[in-house]
Amino acid sequence: MQFGRRKDYPKAKENRHELSKEELDELKDAQRKFRENWPEYDRARRELKIALTKQFNTIYASDVNSLHSWGQLCQILEIVPVPETLQSRREAVKDTHVNLVDLVDTRSTSQRVRVFRTELHLSIYTKATDRFFPKRSAYAGGLLLFLLRNIMYPDRSKTRHCSGR
């Protein structure tokens, strides 16, 4: 609900710094409902974070030493040719910046995963689309932890970026 739009309050006074009794009552009611529903929202948000993490682990596995898992990531991220060794696959993926929610969703949407040139570009996209992956989770495996980036405060000094995939 949005407050303060003139058309929503036909009885509102001309001075917008003064609320009519109806506006004040409506605002108090909305605040009460918000406080009452906050625990439900908070619980749903926690459950979503857990579900995203578990889904990532189901799709991509969590074993940081799995050649197959790293190869699967290389294919999804269109790293061509897929490197042959575990270390070279890790390095290739390490040089990419990808939204992890998009990475999870690609299985159901069949959309290409967008790879960003820098952590800063990824950060801008993530904030603009509000597609945040939980940074801390008890269910996060090694592979997932390896892929997490600093979205809120990206390192602007790093010049390392992936090729223009």
Q: How much is the average pLDDT of 38-49?
A: 82
Predicted local distance difference test score (pLDDT) of residue 67:
96
Predicted local distance difference test score (pLDDT) of residue 114:
95
| Tens-digit pLDDT profile for residues 48-100 | 888 888 899 899 888 899 999 999 999 999 999 999 999 999 999 988 999 99
CB neighbour class for 152 (10 Å; exposed up to 12, middle 13-18, buried from 19)? exposed
Predicted local distance difference test score (pLDDT) of residue 7:
52
For the CA atoms of 11, 17, 21, 27, the dihedral, rounded to the nearest 10 degrees, stands at 110
Give the phi and the psi of residue 115 in degrees, each rounded to 5. Answer: -105, 130
Confidence class for position 13, pLDDT limits 50, 70, 90: very low
Please, what is the average pLDDT of the chain?
Answer: 80
